[in-house]
Amino acid sequence: MAILQDFKKLKEKAKKVVAEKNREGVIQIQVGSATCENAAGSLHVFDEFVKHIKTSQRKDILIRRVGCTGRCSFEPIVSILFPGKDLVVYKSVDIAGVHDIFLTHVMQGKPVQKYLVMNSDTIKKKKKKNVAQKKIATFPITSHFLKLYGKVPFYNVQSRIALRNAGLIDPLNIYEYINYQGFEALATVLEKNDPEWVIKEMTDSKLRGRGGAGFPTGLKWSFARKSEEKTRYMICNADEGDPGAFMDRSMLESDPFSIIEGMIIAGFAIGASKGFFYIRAEYPLAVERIEKAIVMARAHNLLGKNILGSNFDYDLEIKLGAGAFVCGEETALIHSIEGKRGQPRIRPPFPAEEGLWKKPTIINNVETLANVPAVIAIGGKEFAKIGTEKSGGTKVFAVSGKVNHTGLVEVPIGTPLKEVVYDICGGLPNNKKLKAVQTGGPAGGCIPASLLDTKADYEDILRVGSIMGSGGFIILDEDDCMVDVAKFFMTFSCDESCGKCTPCREGTVRVLEILTRITEGKGQMEDLDKLQRLGKLLQKASLCGLGRACCNPILSTLKYFRDEYESHILKKSCPAKRCAALIRYEVDPEKCVGCTMCARNCPVSCITGERRGVHFIHQDACIKCGKCFEVCRFGAIKRL
């Protein structure tokens, strides 16, 4: 009971500190604070609010930074909370918006409609809620976010576990984290002092690795636990490298203590005394917040010697990745931490048997570890009720591309893609038709609109030729060329190949050469067979997952969009009019009014004509940049 007593004292202190700030009658101004929010101007917005508070000389107004809520298309996001009233959320707030919101809403209690995301009168009351979300709302560890944001469209159909504190707490306020059940799971684990119980809870939860492979977490931990070697290591893989993926970065920046708590519990379960955060150096804010959070955890006896008065010693260290995509692969990541070149090796032995410095090592990604405290708090069997028969819990997706509401979405595993695209993210802008959803990054595939009922589940997505991956969803519409999309991902994989094995080193180059020929109108029909054969060869012969999966975008587009490849080859035409070598721009003489807008904006001056006269595009000089098409207000430029 000594551990729980020590933690109780810490929790009482946290409650007191938080209560002092959130005293009765205080108006709270919350400003989103993460890399994406800061890039959109949230730092300036925060400073401007501070100036207004000082000028007003009001003592009942509290301003605080919170993590990113994941609503990327609306940043910077500001929330106002009056005592006893619903949270009011504002979008795209700038300096002028701060002035309007402060004077009208904060000072007078009247929400400013111009920037409003929602209020209690504009809620879509018929918005469908899934059964899993209602279940989650009963769990204390996950219910706080719903209490605050549960009436806001976009959030009110999500089921937040990994993102349970994002947008709710100040990322670097350890007392706020503790006040929302933070470190309770750790205290429970240390009090029970039974690693096998922890591993059983993880096994019962059916939590699978969220980094892409989907390996059962409890089973993975058990391998290291059974090792005869007593020196063991725990690694958090935060080397997020997929184009369009930003889940891990957001969690590290918005809720660092939850990842740290997950790391400590995992370390205890496998018998490790040292853990490492492997974070890519391009995430400076994530590195800074994890670094500061580690220092605070040590200061409160949550890291270091005899954690919370137990006999468990455990500490954490940060290692920076240099941005190599291949270092997301476990063995390459281990080599990088060891100071070696980040290249994969043949497995077995697997890292759980022989990893960092040849010691048993468990590697989990950020999202997996964010779920660990929730599993302990909820209970493994209860956690398993969320999701599917084989996969427990939720999955966070970074939704980007041609969709109205980009951002982070967390839903139960098994949720249909259609629900994510339309019910949560609001469908496609400008009434465009959905063509495909690209999942899994460079290792994933393109799922056509006809298969949008596919479930966001490891097996179901694999069945249609893609992978879940780390959780990137790129929405593609009718204006996207699928051949060009395949070329984009192969260009990425070709650049990121470490070069260690011949199939990947040479194969990616050959595939890219073929795709380039096709997009330039120089392809032959036999090229399609070559792509198919090369894709299968790389899948079977490459050393690591990068080479084995990098042709998935090509193979899936060949399967579902072969007609686009054939059009590029046989008709020398790009149906989506995206491949520059296969399109041309002409002036429609019946629509041209001679405004000269096209000529003035042409970067190579290839458009001639008198003012108020019909203009002409000289094809031999045109670089096909499309600027004339973009700026013409009369629809006089034809893209053919």
Q: Where in the chain is the domain with CATH 3.30.70.20?
A: 584-639
In sequence order, the β-bridge partners of residue 61 are 27
**Sign of the four-CA dihedral 163, 167, 168, 171:** positive
Is pLDDT larger for residue 536 or for residue 150? 536
Tell me how far apart the alpha carbons of residues 360 and 368 are, in angstroms, rounded to a whole number: 19
182-384: in CATH 3.40.109.10: no
- Give the burial class of 140: count Cβ atoms within 10 A of its Cβ; 0-12 exposed, 13-18 middle, 19 or more buried: exposed
Residue 89 has pLDDT above 90, yes or no: yes
For the chain, give every residue range classified as CATH 1.20.1440.230: 483-571
Distance of CA 576 to the CA centre of its chain: 28
pLDDT band at 101 (very low <50, low <70, confident <90, very high): very high
Task: For residue 537, report the phi and psi dihedrals to the nearest 5 degrees.
Answer: -65, -45
Mean pLDDT of the chain: 93
Listed in sequence order, the residues at least 6 apart from 66 whose beta carbon sits closer than 8 Å to its beta carbon are: 30, 31, 32, 33, 79, 167, 168, 169, 170, 171, 254
Helix (H, G, I), strand (E, B) or coil at 2: helix
Other Cβ atoms less than 10 A from the Cβ of 380: the count is 21
CATH number for region 584-639: 3.30.70.20
| pLDDT value at residue 212 | 79
pLDDT tens figures, 575-600: 999 999 999 999 999 999 999 999 99
How many other C-beta atoms are found inside a 10 Å radius of the C-beta of residue 69? Answer: 30
Place of tokens 């046989």: 570
> With 90 as the cut, is the pLDDT of residue 123 above it?
no
Residue % of the chain over a pLDDT of 70: 97
3-state DSSP assignment of residue 76: coil
Q: In 10 A of CB 459, how many CB atoms? A: 14
- What is the three-class DSSP state of 353? coil
Q: Quick one: three-class SS letters along 375-432?
A: HHHHCHHHHHCCECCCCECEEEEEEEECCCCCEEEEEECCCEHHHHHHHHCCCCHHHC
Residues of the chain with CATH 3.10.20.600: 398-480
Q: Is the peptide bond before 348 cis (omega within 30 degrees of 0)?
A: yes
Q: What local confidence, expressed as pLDDT, does residue 513 receive?
A: 98
- The CATH class that applies to domain 483-571 reads mainly alpha
Tens of pLDDT, residue by residue over 606-639, are 999 999 999 999 999 999 999 999 999 999 999 9
3-state secondary structure of 457: coil
Rounded distance between C-alpha atoms, residue 79 and residue 145, angstroms = 13
Which of 289, 276, 102, 270 has its CA nearest to residue 189?
A: 270
pLDDT range class, residue 121, cuts 50, 70, 90? very low
**Position 25, amino acid:** G
Per-residue pLDDT, averaged over 385-390, amounts to: 94
Q: How many CA atoms lie within 13 A of 308 on its CB side?
A: 27
pLDDT band (50, 70, 90) for residue 138? low
**SS3 at position 356:** helix
DSSP 8-state code for residue 530: H
Does the 20-123 domain belong in CATH 3.40.30.10? Answer: yes
Percent of the chain with pLDDT over 90: 87
Confidence of residue 118 (pLDDT cuts 50, 70, 90): low
Tokens coding 565: 């490849």
pLDDT of residue 363: 97
pTM: 0.93
Q: Is 196 exposed, middle or buried (0-12, 13-18, 19+ CB in 10 A)?
A: exposed
User: CB-hemisphere CA count at 13 Å for 521?
Assistant: 12
Quote the pLDDT of residue 211. Answer: 85
- Above 80 in pLDDT, residue 125? no
Where helices occur in 246-386 by DSSP H, the ranges are: 247-254, 256-270, 284-299, 330-337, 366-378, 380-384
Tens-place pLDDT, residues 59-86: 999 999 999 989 998 999 999 999 989 9
pLDDT of residue 1: 65
Question: Is the four-CA dihedral 179, 182, 187, 189 of positive or negative sign?
Answer: positive
Q: Which helix (H) or strand (E) holds 66?
A: strand 61-66
Helix (H, G, I), strand (E, B) or coil at 243: coil
* 533: pLDDT strictly greater than 70: yes
Mapped onto helix, strand or coil, the DSSP state of residue 165 is: coil
| Per-residue pLDDT at 22 | 82
Q: Taking the domain 398-480, which CATH number applies? A: 3.10.20.600
Pairing of strands 361-365, 233-238: parallel
- Quick check: 562 pLDDT over 70? yes
Can you tell me the distance from the alpha carbon of 246 to that of 407, in angstroms, rounded to the nearest whole number? 9
Residue 272 has pLDDT above 70, yes or no: yes
Q: Which two tokens stand for residue 70?
A: 């994941």
Query: Smallest Cα–Cα separation from 376: which of 238, 170, 199?
Result: 199
For residues 139 and 377, the answer to whether their CB atoms sit within 8 Å is yes
